Structure 1
């Protein structure tokens, strides 16, 4: 018998002063049986960092043709494709041909560094791809906020972000830009 996804409910209060985006989002997040709390929370933070009225969770791990998150325009064309983790270069190249903007948010410290060194040469040529690497320990700190029902406040200002809840200390979201999209 196949294991089913675990459903999490998250209320995100986003104050993004860099983009002047202020909104509350009531989200339902399905955590795949093979997914860790770290990865699920990185997906949730990715939603907050790129929040938009049409940004939504996709099938991600369950379907190789869909990202973790995507934003489509009114015609159904993919504007933004967001991946969490360390996807292979073929998946990133495929995303690059299907979407206007591709974002990869890698995490995992040393394993993330090793992954980047392996795919860097092939990814550098893709003009619409950006790759960020979360600071070591960030995903683990985010996992400490995971609960079946979450109420999180996200503040983004001057290129920095914090995620907090009433039950825990805020977590600073720090990242390094490994690749920026071509101008």
Structure 2
């Protein structure tokens, strides 16, 4: 019998002072059996950093032709394609061909090695923004993971403060490829 996804519910209040976006979102996240809490929380962080009324989660880790998150217009055209982790450069190249903007949130122990191996190819993709989430920030964020979460997120000057019932953490994504 196949393992089933674990469902996480998150009530997320977002105050994005950088983009002047303020909203509450009731999110349902399905964690694939092969997905870690760390990846789930980075997906949630990516949502918080790019929140809009049309941003939605993709079908998941087992679907190659969909991102972790995407923002589509009313015609179905992809405005923003968001990946998390350390994907193959070909996936990001294909995403750049299908959308107006591509964001990648890199995390994990081998992220520095992955970046050195892929940096030159990824710098050649003008629509791509690569953001690094440090292992310390990921660990702090992952510690907040619960099947039922209530989070208040404040974004100011690129830093994210995530307040949960149990703790408050500050995440500071670092842009790896400079703006064009």
Question: Could you tell me the TM-score, scaled by structure 2's length?
Answer: 0.97
Q: Matched residues in 1 for 2:41 and 2:144: separation?
A: 8
**Residue number in structure 2 paired with 1:161:** 160
Distance (Å, rounded) in 1 between the aligned partners of 2:35 and 2:78? 25
Return the alpha-carbon distance in structure 2 between the equivalents of residues 27 and 47 of structure 1: 10
What root-mean-square deviation, in Å, do the aligned CA atoms of Structure 1 and Structure 2 show? 1.0
- Give, in whole Å, the separation in 1 of the partners of 2:151 and 2:133: 19
The 3-state SS of whatever aligns with 2:61 is helix
Relative to 1, partners in 2 of residues 1:95 and 1:180: Cα closer, same or farther, differing over 3 Å? farther
Indicate the residue corresponding to 2:125 in structure 1. 126
Are 2:78 and 1:78 equivalent residues in the alignment? yes
Query: What is the CA–CA distance in structure 2 between the aligned matches of 1:162 and 1:3, rounded to whole Å?
Result: 34
- What is the SS of the residue equivalent to 2:135? coil
Shift of 1:80: 0.4
Deviations 1:54-74 (CA, angstroms, capped at 9, x unpaired): 000002312000000000001
In the alignment, structure 1 residue 179 sits paired with structure 2 residue 177? yes
Measured in 1, the distance between the counterparts of 2:95 and 2:155 equals 26
Partner deviation per Cα, 1:132-154 (whole Å, 9 max, x = no partner): 10123111111110111000010
CA distance, structure 2, for counterparts of residue 131 and residue 181 of structure 1 = 10
Structure 2, unmatched stretches of 5+, are none
Segments of structure 1 that go 5 or more residues without pairing to the other structure are none
Q: Within 5 A, what are the aligned runs for 1:16-165?
A: 16-109=16-109, 111-165=110-164
Is this contact kept in 1: 2:158–2:173, CA < 8 A? no
Contact residue 129 and residue 180 of structure 1 kept, 8 A = no
Say how many residue pairs are matched: 180
- Residue 167 of structure 1 and its aligned partner are, at CA, apart by 2.0
